[in-house]
Amino acid sequence: MGADVKKNRLKVQYVLNGVLISTMVDTGRRLIDQLRDTHGLGSVKEGCGTGECGACTTLVDGKGMCSCILLVPQINGKEITTLEGITTGEILHPVQEKFIEEGAVQCGYCTPGMIMSAVQLLSDNPEPSEDEIRLALSGNLCRCTGYSKIIRAVQAAAKALSKEGN
């Protein structure tokens, strides 16, 4: 991977929310800690630390992954997007808009991860069926909402995005 190994430390490069980062990390550094503690990206939530809940979902080259079970060296050369990276200034992403409008947020702890999975789904599949939405979100646990309003929000966002596209 072209990284320099020095005393358990590695040089890594990645693009984070559009910005090129080049830094030294401990080989065992978890991506979630790097994002939260080093980069101050508080949207990335930890619910289990073992890849079970999806609260830490982060896009790695456009694919939703659990950042709690990825090590920073594994993302060398890749592009990372967190919730902070999908808003443009004050303007919310349509998925965020619709989560608010449809009442898809309760405690909000699953919300960032849920939104990232939805964003990935809609970029891969702009007109998903309800079953496809349910499948795409099935790695993100939510204990508050019963998922109904989340699914409705994703459907509404798909519509909004397709209008925007036209």
Interstrand relation of 9-16 and 5-6 (parallel, antiparallel or unpaired): antiparallel
Segment 62-101, which members bind another protein (CB under 8 A)?
Answer: 82-84, 87, 92, 96, 99-101
> Each residue of 90-112: b (16+ CB within 10 Å) or e?
eeebbbbebbeebebbeeebbbb
Question: CB 77 → another protein: shortest distance, Å?
Answer: 25
Of residues 145, 149, 152, 154, which one binds ligand FES by CB under 6 A? 145
Question: Does residue 5 touch another protein according to CB under 8 A?
Answer: no
Question: CB 109 → another protein: shortest distance, Å?
Answer: 3
Show the beta-strand stretches assigned E in the chain: 5-6, 9-16, 19-26, 57-60, 63-66, 79-81
- Could you tell me which residues come within 8 angstroms of residue 7 by beta carbon, excluding any fewer than 6 positions away? none
Segment 101-120, which members bind another protein (CB under 8 A)?
Answer: 101, 103, 105-112, 115
Q: Which is nearer to another protein, 123 or 138 (CB)?
A: 138
Contact segment (CB under 6 A) with ligand FES among 78-86, 93-101, 137-145, 151-159 equals 137-145
The single residue listed with the structure tokens 């559009």 is: 18
The two tokens of residue 118 are: 């939805």
Instruction: Please count the residues of this chain forming the interface with ligand FES, following the rule CB under 6 A.
Output: 23
Of residues 3, 21, 48, 92, which one binds ligand FES by CB under 6 A? 48
3 binds, among ligand FES, another protein, none (CB under 5 to 8 A by kind): none
The two tokens of residue 163 are: 């209008």
Rounded CA separation 108/150 (Å): 11
